[in-house]
Amino acid sequence: MSLQTSEQRYRLGFIGGGKLAGSVMRGLVRAKFCGGAEILVHEPFEATRTALRDELGVAIASGNEEIAEKADVILIGVKPGVVLDVVAGLANAIENKLVISLAAGVRVASMEEMAKARFMRAMTNTPAAVCQAATAIAPGTRTLADDMTRAREIFSAIGFATEVKEDQIDAVTALAGSGPAFVYTVIEALAEGGTSCGLAAEASLGLATQTVRGAAQLALESGLSPEELRRMVITPGGTTAAGLAVMEKEGTANGLRLAVEAAAARGRELG
């Protein structure tokens, strides 16, 4: 169901249509937040551009300037190293417009030095494509209350969205932005464990993937802590206890914690 009424619907402009921005677009169309024809995209790579147009029916802009001219809300989905160049090149065109950066590392203050737009940052992830994103939104110094409302509407349509302070974005980048890759590694390892115990590869991967999905859904809906949910599965001296003992010995949980910390540190370096 759309989270907007027809009177509230507005056109979105994406500068960049790569993996993350493309996932956001796919989720918004899937959620019926807006139709593909209400999304205007400038993407330099022809194959990516064509895929978005053919799959979603998005409108293709001739350049960033057209995005700045025609879009009510502008989302910047280019690589971090390109963001400030994009902003500087559009400084006059985006004055007093709402601009949301999806890039890691690039601070609001740096963008605000380049142009007088109302900049915000949103750190989301690729599960946005299936409306299961985890998104944190950070305001800038010029952000209006209505801007935050709009940003929440956009990102709540494709999953969970919360507001954070910008100095917390690096942690969000590590946890939510990089986190899916860590989870896929867990799924892969679980599936490999299944095959080593005699399961067919396809069956093992399906069981591992659904197990992670089901556990996450129960965690979301039950209101119980991970510790409480874990205790529900463990029988003293049973199979789960045996497996957890090995995980403890091998430092599995600590490795995941360290992965998040390393990703957060890299986010700070990018900034």
> What are the DSSP calls for the chain, one per residue?
--SS-GGG---EEEE--SHHHHHHHHHHHHTTSS-GGGEEEE-S-HHHHHHHHHHH-PEEPSSHHHHHHH-SEEEE-S-HHHHHHHHHHTTTTTTT-EEEE--SS--HHHHHHH--SEEEEEE--GGGGGT-EEEEEEE-TT--HHHHHHHHHHHHTTEEEEE--GGGHHHHIIIIISHHHHHHHHHHHHHHHHHHTT--HHHHHHHHHHHHHHHHHHHHHH---HHHHHHHH--TTSHHHHHHHHHHHHTHHHHHHHHHHHHHHHHHHH-
Its pTM stands at: 0.86
pLDDT tens string 171-218: 999 999 999 999 999 999 999 999 999 999 999 999 999 999 999 999
**pLDDT for the residue 208:** 97
Parse the chain into domains and list their residue ranges: 6-169, 179-270
Looking at the domain that runs over 6-169, which CATH code has it been given?
A: 3.40.50.720
1.20.1300.10, 2.60.40.10, 3.90.850.10, 1.10.3730.10: which CATH number matches 179-270? 1.10.3730.10
Asked whether the domain spanning 179-270 has the same topology as the one spanning 6-169, the reply is: no
pLDDT at 250 over 60: yes
